[in-house]
Amino acid sequence: MHEPSRPRPPLPGQEHFVADVAGTPLQTTDRLDESAPPTSLWVDAWHQLRRRPLFLVSALLILLIVAVSLFPQLFTSQEPRSCNLADSLAAGRAGHPFGFDLQGCDVYARVVHGARASVLVGIFTTLGVVLVGGTVGALAGFYGGWIDAVLSRVADVFFAIPLVLGSIVVMQSVSERTPLTVAVALVVFGWPQVARIMRGAVLSVRQAEFITASRALGASSRSTLLRHAVPNALGPVIVIATISLGIFIATEATLSFLGIGLPPTTVSWGGDISQAQRSLRTQPAVLLYPAGALSLTVLSFIMLGDAVRDALDPKGRAR
């Protein structure tokens, strides 16, 4: 028989430290803090977002843009449609910091009042694509089979049509162009991307244990889909919706720049950019101000989407 191995004696000058088992019992060390409130993915994401400068900066910019859209009178007392040809392309002065455009309209007032139409189109379009695309993607991913095949092929047909090109065709066929009609045209060709993302997210949670438990408890398929599958698949959809909102604002500006978006009677950044191209060589600032406001708005929503994506992705978090 082999003799049990004896512990090696400590080397000269080396000390051994042994924990006091009586002072730190194992039950105390491994005990959970049951008094702490339970957390969820959304609570953890909010804690992550509050510590990210990217989220704070983008959120403050978006709050400023929303405030300008809702209450433009707080930021300027000038009427954006009040123009005087005597001030055509005049430089900035007291009360008119951005100067005047070719028609003699106050550029600062038009930039402030133009935020409302652009932001409304972005919000309406985002809500529409999330509602349509989320519904189609959730049904296709949860039920599968022929429902998935049919809905996926329909989404592929619309996905093959470019967003701007399809919106041009739709806008040329409508008689009244308003922010709502522009949003509807963008929704018609913008929902397939959200549908694909929702379908993949629902597929990833369809075989989860909580879905199986819900079915075992006798819940209907519709109840399981609405109460368990969809809430746990909303993370990627929220991220893509936040980023797409800025893209839809830029798309509206593109349509207005081409003259088939909002009518000239509606003050918008895209329309002002289109009008300012005539004086680009003589007075480039007339173009830079609405274009800068548009770029800042789009960048704010894209930065917010990046911050939300990192917060909702547990694998990407720093441990």
Instruction: Specify the 3-state DSSP secondary structure of 238.
Output: helix
Contact 233, 134 (CB under 8 A): no
| Per-residue pLDDT tens digits for 173-214 | 888 888 899 999 999 999 999 999 999 999 988 888 888 888
Q: Tell me the CATH number at 187.
A: 1.10.3720.10
| 9 located within any domain | no
| 10 located within any domain | no
Predicted pLDDT at 182: 93
Predicted pLDDT at 231: 87
Number of domains in the chain: 1
Predicted pLDDT at 47: 80
| 87 located within any domain | no
Predicted pLDDT at 319: 44
pLDDT, average across residues 57-70: 94
Q: Which structural domain, as residue segments, surrounds residue 48?
A: 40-77+99-316
pLDDT, average across residues 237-254: 91
How far apart (Å, rounded) are the C-alpha atoms in residues 304 and 150?
34
| 13 located within any domain | no
| 284 located within any domain | yes
Name the β-bridge partners of 100: 106
**313 burial class (0-12, 13-18, 19+ CB within 10 angstroms)?**
middle
When mean pLDDT is compared across 115-124, 148-157, 274-283, the lowest value belongs to 274-283
Q: Tokens at residue 236, please?
A: 């990627």
Give the model's confidence band at 141: pLDDT under 50 very low, under 70 low, under 90 confident, else very high: very high
